Amino acid sequence: MLIQVLLSGIALGSIYGLVALGFAVVFKATDVFNFAQGMFVAFGAYFAVTTINLLGLPFPLAVAAIIAAAAALGVIIHIVLIQPLSGRPMLSVIMLTIALSIVMRAVIEILYGVQSRTLSTPMPTGIFIIGDVRVSQLHLVAAGVSWLCMAAFGAFFKFTSVGLLMRATADGHEAALVSGVNVKVMNRLAWAIGAGLAAIGGLFLGQLQIVSTELEHIGLLALPAVVIGGMQSIPGAIIGGLLVGLIEQLSATYISPKSSDILVYVLLLMILMVRPWGLFGQRELGRV
Amino acid sequence: MTATIPRSGPPRATSVSRWVWLALAAAMLLYLPILLTERQIFGFRLSNMMLLNIGLSQVNLMLITMLGALSLNYLTGSAGLISIGHAAFYAVGAMTAAITGSQWGWPFPLVLVAAALCGAVAGLLAGLPSLRVRGLYFVLSTFAVHYIVVFVFMEYQFKFFDVVGVPYKNATLGSWNLSTPMRWYFFLLPLVIFVYWLLRNSLGTREGRAMQAMRDHELAATANGIDVRFLRLKAFALSSAIAAVGGALYAYYLTNVTSEFFGIQFAIQFIAMIIIGGMGSLPGAVVGAAVWLLLPSIINGLTSQAGDTTGLLRSVLVDHKPQLVQAIFGMLVIVLLIFAPWGIAGMASRLKARLTAWWSRS
Amino acid sequence: MQDKNTRQPKGLRMKLLSAVAASTLAMSAHAQFEAPAEGVYKDRVDWGVMMDLSGPASGSQGIWTNGFQAYVRSINDKGGVNGRRINVLAEDSRFNPAQDKINYEKLSTQTPVLAISGMGSSSSQVSLAPTIRGGKIPIVGTYTHTKPLAEPVSPLVYGGFCTYPEMAKAGVGYMTDKLKVKSPKVMVVSIESAGGVEYAQFIADAVKKYGGSSSLVTMKITAADVTPQVLEIIKQKPDFITIYGVGNTAILTMKAMHQYGLKIPAFGISYLMSPQIYAAIGPDAGPNYNVISCFTPGGADQSAGNKEMMSAADKYNHSAMKEDVNYVAGWVAGQMAAQALQLAGTQPTRAKLVEAMSKGFTVNTNGLSAPIVFTPTDHAGPSRFRMIGYDYGAKKYVSFGEFADYEKYMK
């Protein structure tokens, strides 16, 4: 049923959009293509297991703890790893994030063991039945929360002074420095946001399936999402995520499960050839 | 009248010492496979750790992957194009080898030639986006190309062969069958040396220097009448051809491949190798390949020496040893990236410069 | 008075001395036998394991390795086999056949082992099959079956995990009887892989015997949502389904079916049984999910083997794993290895081990599985099954019947 497929595509796409948003914020601010974003998703899921299932914290407190821990992790990584490498060629920084994801995966497996873990949260797991259509409540909550976060950050970037300052800094580092903006703080904030958003995505994905380091691969689907939508654009990342989710579900249903991957990447290639700055990005002056 | 532009690379020394070094290196390279197979030297049996936990299969696989590292470094460091799609060209080579070798039964040397040709064509096609975009966007286009090519390989594998994988048989050169690791070594080593020599010479030609000029300052190069785009595509074609040959060799060495072998991890390892070794440096590619492939084994061997321990240490060292190895390895890469940005080759040349300066002062 | 006792006849003393000397010599010869080139030393035997310990399949293969190491440790604590303890050299394949090629060479000449257990990656098995068959190292207790290594039967290779054809027969037979359907309509939900296609074929063969029909629907291994597959299930309306893949495959399928209000019973392949999977499926959808397994997970019954395994697991800090089928499989593979080593005698070599095993032997696991019978022509491994479910209330496994009850489905 088309509606069913569309709904699941939107639900999944919302989570992708969330992770992609985190990705875009980091990229826009610090010019880093963070291949470790997938591992932040996994980190969020595992930390959720610790706070909710192992420590038994009340749910709202646990969620706050997860976001805080992820944000702290993002900031630490920026201070220790990204800042020393500012100004280096992009490839080195990409490689650094890849090495980081290797280390994170190993550390998680040492701490939690290689077995996958179950995440059970107080989030509703029932079904809504509206006529012929059945919607999983968890999907609804995931989509709803994702949209809430994305809207909140959209407003943050558009209306608050800190948000505007972040955008300005991202658009021009020198100008920001000259204006007395503490660029370092802005960058760290960006990394905190990026990691935090990924962790929320991990919280949902962990409950939708099972918590394992394989969640990293789902997080990596945010990459084409961000590029298709536009790497320098916040709404672009969100739309990109939705598109990827929808394409995945539609092609898996009506063509074949294998085709979903390839369609996403063919679309990615086409966008890069025709409109490399993405659907919603800004065309950059000079040779792209 | 143009002044002669100096050749890239160190001046050709004619001193005896250089020939002595070369002879020594050649002797070591020739003795290496025997050492690794027999695991003893003049009757004295060497322990596994003395040989750094390395075996001949590892060295062979390192040589095959070195082809990819060399060609990628040629592309990236010299022509200024970054590609994550190198695994895709390995897949192209493997697929060509499957069609020409396993399906049509061509002899092995011809299969390699076919793989090179198809790789070149694929490289030309994959390089086309470079006419339109550069930098990060081009990297992403190679990322997309990677997934598309691997998908094509998967479809091919499922349609024409067992889902278990594509089989490769009969790696024979004339009547010499590559049936043991030692034979593979003596086939791969000259091949890698040849490719190294080919790429190094290519960098020294007029076109090669032009490419490096275009890498450094594109506008000036174009102004000087060098067709930048054409050179770029040529570089891509050559590097992809070599990678495809590597892919065909990989397939024959493992005698069975599936599309999963050429995943994104495989692609990323080439990038890792050239960064660790030093971008733009061919010796760096060699060192990078060696470090990336051999270091985990060495770390593994060292952690095994920790012996019988109990408690927390045991939990980490025995139950989680592979994770520990991965963690150490990742951290070493990070440290290298932070403190040695020009890779090991860069470190080596800086060290050499300092030593030379110190020597000339004293 | 002392004279009579102290002045023993000279001949007797000499005989006594020579007897003592001979027996000491004999014992030391027994203990002194070493074949370092094959991993046999005075006081230990090196035994290799090749599994994915840090890659995508480490969630199951790492657990298997722990089970194997646990059994070996329990044997070593009792003195080992024939006076030698077993030293496990576990090599990580990271699910990469190139790495396995390196590992095999390592275990054959660099740190030589007497035999190898595990071999978890099918691609590695296919890739290494010619080398293994042409080599001397026996593989005792594989984690997965592939044709190139299993057919034709090789004296070097012995299967260690549930065999698929019998798995399909037992599963289909049991469900058909339980649901009392005449010509069962079955759907196979699988990941796209060689094993999945093969399993679907075995199911089709089994279903044919009952005059039924079967079909296959696939999904990506990293799928995050299975709405398309479930819609297909709704369309086809099978009597029951069977699931092939990884833990996620089962979890997503069962949860999605529950979401769409489907109450179709499902059974998963033997690999898909762990408390995590059941917990993730949840008590709403879980009762519809069972697993057809040749192994008995910890706590599912009170057999001697089960109790022994559970107590060892607790002792060695593996309590979290003992209910995972992979742990049991590893433990049983350890039993296989120890028994084979016993058969090889006091002076084991690779050749002797192979010779002893190829004559045929039976591994009695004391209830953890049906007796595993190896004959000169059958090296398949554990091939008797029963269905196992989960009681969410008691948080324990429930086994439906004994292995013998399923014999009738094996024809």
Instruction: Render C286-323 in DSSP notation, one character per residue.
Output: GGGEEEEESB--TTSS--HHHHHHHHHHHHTT-GGGTT
Q: Which helix (H) or strand (E) holds B44?
A: strand B44-45
**Cα(C283)–Cα(C275) distance, integer angstroms:** 12
Phi and psi torsions of C362, nearest 5°? -120, 135
A209 vs C284: CB contact, 8 Å cut-off?
A: no
A110 vs B279: CB contact, 8 Å cut-off?
A: no
**Cα(B355)–Cα(B172) distance, integer angstroms:** 47
A103 vs B324: CB contact, 8 Å cut-off?
A: no
pLDDT band at C45 (very low <50, low <70, confident <90, very high): very high
Residues of A contacting chain C (CB within 8 angstroms): 1, 4-5, 8, 11-12, 106, 109, 113-118, 120, 125, 127, 129, 134, 136, 205, 208-210, 212, 214, 217-218, 248-249, 252-254, 257-258, 260-261
C383 Cβ contact partners less than 8 Å away, ≥ 6 residues apart: C162, C163, C166, C294, C370
Of A99, A103, A288, the CB nearest to B337: A99
Which whole-number Å values give the CA distances from B92 to B96, B194, B239, B243, C227, in the listed order? 6, 22, 13, 9, 34
CA C364 to chain centre: 13
pTM for this structure? 0.85
pLDDT at C198 over 50: yes
Give the position of tokens 């990204």. A82
A116 vs C59: CB contact, 8 Å cut-off?
A: yes
Q: Is C378 exposed, middle or buried (0-12, 13-18, 19+ CB in 10 A)?
A: middle
A269 vs B141: CB contact, 8 Å cut-off?
A: yes
Question: Which residues of chain B have a CB within 8 Å of the CB of A33?
Answer: 136
Residues pairing with C398 in the sheet: C389
Percent of chain C surpassing pLDDT 70 = 92
pLDDT of residue C20: 60
Q: Which helix (H) or strand (E) holds C391?
A: strand C386-391
Residue of C nearest to A212 (CA): C59
Mean pLDDT of C113-134: 90
B89 Cβ contact partners less than 8 Å away, ≥ 6 residues apart: B68, B119, B122, B123, B126, B149, B240, B243, B244, B247
C158 Cβ contact partners less than 8 Å away, ≥ 6 residues apart: C138, C139, C140, C141, C142, C336, C340, C357, C374, C379, C381
Report how far apart the first and last C-alpha atoms of chain B are (Å, whole number).
41
User: What does pLDDT average to over chain C?
Assistant: 88
Q: Which helix (H) or strand (E) holds B111?
A: helix B108-127
A184 Cβ contact partners less than 8 Å away, ≥ 6 residues apart: A83
Nearest chain A Cα distance for residue B70, angstroms = 17
Of C94, C97, C105, the CB nearest to B254: C97
Nearest chain B Cα distance for residue C250, angstroms = 22
Mean pLDDT of C228-246: 91
pLDDT at A192 over 90: yes
Report how far apart the first and last C-alpha atoms of chain A are (Å, whole number).
42
Report how far apart the first and last C-alpha atoms of chain C are (Å, whole number).
80
**Cα(A272)–Cα(A227) distance, integer angstroms:** 8
C194 vs B56: CB contact, 8 Å cut-off?
A: no
**Cα(A8)–Cα(A246) distance, integer angstroms:** 8
Residues pairing with A117 in the sheet: A211
**Cα(A92)–Cα(B277) distance, integer angstroms:** 12
Q: Render pLDDT for C372-390 as a digit per residue (tens, 0 to 9).
A: 999 999 999 999 999 999 9
C406 Cβ contact partners less than 8 Å away, ≥ 6 residues apart: C170, C173, C174, C384, C385, C386
Contact C349, C113 (CB under 8 A): no
C-alpha Rg value of chain B to the nearest Å: 22
pLDDT of residue C338: 94
Q: What pLDDT tens digit does each residue of chain B (362 aa) get?
A: 445 555 555 555 557 788 888 888 888 888 888 888 877 777 777 777 777 778 888 899 999 999 999 999 888 866 777 888 889 999 999 999 999 988 888 888 899 999 999 999 999 998 888 777 777 788 888 888 998 999 899 888 888 887 678 888 777 877 788 888 888 999 999 999 999 999 888 877 766 776 666 666 666 666 665 677 777 888 889 999 999 999 999 999 998 888 888 888 888 888 888 888 887 788 888 988 988 888 888 877 777 665 555 555 666 666 677 888 888 888 888 888 888 777 787 788 888 888 888 888 76
**Cα(A285)–Cα(C95) distance, integer angstroms:** 45
Residue of C nearest to B252 (CA): C127
pLDDT at C4 over 60: no
Q: Is C198 left (phi over 0), alpha (psi -120 to 50) or beta?
A: alpha
pLDDT band at A86 (very low <50, low <70, confident <90, very high): confident
Mean pLDDT of C92-108: 89
DSSP one-letter string for B271-319: HHHHHHH-TT-HHHHHHHHHHHHHHHHHHHHHHHTT-S--HHHHIIIII
**Cα(B313)–Cα(B134) distance, integer angstroms:** 49
Taking residue B59's Cβ as centre, other Cβ atoms within 10 Å add up to: 22
